[in-house]
Amino acid sequence: MTLRRTLTLSLAAMAVALLVPVTALADGAERLTRMLQPLNTYSADFDQQILDGSGQRLQHAQGHMWLSRPGKFRWEVDAPYEQVVVSDGNEVTLYDPDLQQATVQPLDQRVTHTPALLLSGSASDLVENYEVSSSQQGVNETFTLVPKAADTLFEELKLTFRSERLGFLQMTDSTGQRTAIEFKNVEQNASMDSDRFRLELPSDTDIIRQSP
C-alpha cells in the first residue's frame, strides 16, 4: 500500500510526556462518554503526520474535517495533494482528483473502527468495543482506547481534550506506525449542511466499488 493511500485511510483514522494517571476521576469510558455525548457536530483544521516505529516522519498533510452524528464525516486533504474521504452514514467514498478515481465501500465492521467513525458514532458504544483509560496534565486530558476486537485498523488510539475540546489524536497500528493529528480552529455543535456529506463526482471519474 502506498504512503499516499495510507495517509488517507488512516484518517478514515504525540506521545504525551509526564502524564499522571487519574485515579480520582470517574472510570475512563464513563468520562469519555460524558464528554462525547453532547457532541453533535465538529469541524476543525488539521495537521497530520505519519511516523514509523522509530519516529521518522513518513508523510505530512494538512486540511479540514467535518463530523456529524450519526456516522457522517468529510475529510479533505489540501496539501501535499488533494484527496477527499466522505461518509454519508452508509458508504465511505475515497476520492483522488489527480487519479480521477473514487473507491466506494460500505461501513463494514472494519471500517467502523476508524477514528472518524468512532467520533461520529454513538458514545455509548465505547464501553462495549474498547478498553478505555484516562490520564491528565493540567487542562489536557488524554483517553487511551484499545479495541477489544482483533480485526481493527489500529491497536491503540489516544484522544487528547484541551479544556474538554478534542485537540489531538494519535493512532498506532500493529507495526508501530503512528498517525498523529492536531486539530485547530475547532467548532463544536455549529449548524452543518447535510450536503457536505454527499460527494458529487465528475462524470469521467473511475469508480471502484468494494465489498465488505
> Residues near 33 by Cβ (< 8 Å), separated by ≥ 6?
123, 124, 126, 127
Whole-model pTM over 0.85? no
Is pLDDT above 60 for 25?
no
What is the overall mean pLDDT for the chain? 81
Is pLDDT above 80 for 80?
yes
pLDDT at 17: 21
Is pLDDT above 90 for 60?
yes
The three grid cell numbers given for residue 59, joined into one nine-digit string? 508523510
Residues 126, 112: contact at Cβ < 8 Å? no
Instruction: Over range 25-53, report the average pLDDT.
Output: 84
Q: How confident is the model at residue 50 (pLDDT cuts 50, 70, 90)?
A: very high
For residues 53 and 173, give the distance between their C-alpha atoms in angstroms, rounded to a whole number: 10
For the segment 106-154, what is each residue's pLDDT rounded down to a tens digit? Answer: 876 445 556 666 666 666 666 677 888 999 888 899 999 888 887 777 8
User: Which of 24-38, 78-92, 120-134 holds the top average pLDDT?
Assistant: 78-92
**Domain limits, the chain:** 11-190
* DSSP-derived secondary structure for 130-199: EEEEEEEETTEEEEEEEESSSS-S-SEEEEEEETTEEEEEEEE-TTS-EEEEEEEEEEES----GGGG--
Fold of 11-190: outer membrane lipoprotein receptor (LolB), chain A (2.50.20)
